[in-house]
Amino acid sequence: QVQLQESGPGLVKPSETLSLTCAVSGGSISSANWWSWVRQPPGKGLEWIGEIFVGGRTNYNPSLASRVTISLDMSKNQFSLRLTSVTTADTAVYYCARHLAVPGTRGFDVWGQGTTVTVS
């Protein structure tokens, strides 16, 4: 079955750019139409960052939209997150997730294990 694996630097300096990649294995990235990034600050809840359609269309959380770019590379079966001008408030576990392919419903049915990013 499809598995997701996040990768990227665990430590980013303030004002720099956070870049993460989510590798899709066990199936094609076209197994779903939409893919998302979600983050979780230490000891806190979940925050949706944004999503990308396999055709390239994106939607972002307005609270992060000015700093976020999500892209997808079908040839590499992966999608990526770029967050610019990071601050300590961006310290979190970052998850990538696959959207359900059930028409008329919503939810994220496959998640990566998460990667911890510390801004310091």
Partner 1 sequence: EIVLTQSPGTLSLSPGERATLSCRASQTVSINYLAWYQQRPGQAPRLLTYGASSRATGIPDRFSVSGSGTDFTLTISRLEPEDFAVYYCQQYGSSPRYTFGQGTQLEIK
Find the binding residues for partner 1 in span 5-34 (CB under 8 A).
none
Q: Positive or negative, the Cα torsion across 74, 82, 16, 94?
A: negative
For residue 61, give the DSSP letter.
Answer: -
Q: Which tokens go with 97?
A: 């997730």
Q: Tell me: does residue 79 bind partner 1 (CB under 8 A).
A: no
For residue 100, give the DSSP letter.
Answer: P
Q: Tell me: does residue 36 bind partner 1 (CB under 8 A).
A: yes
- Using CA atoms, how far residue 56 sits from 70, 85, 118, in Å, is 9, 24, 28
Q: Which of 48, 54, 69, 82 binds partner 1 (CB under 8 A)?
A: 48
Number of residues that bind partner 1 (CB under 8 A): 25
Q: Which of 7, 61, 69, 77 binds partner 1 (CB under 8 A)?
A: 61
- The residues of the shown chain that bind partner 1, judged by CB under 8 A, are 36, 38, 45-48, 51, 59-63, 95, 100, 102, 104-109, 111-114
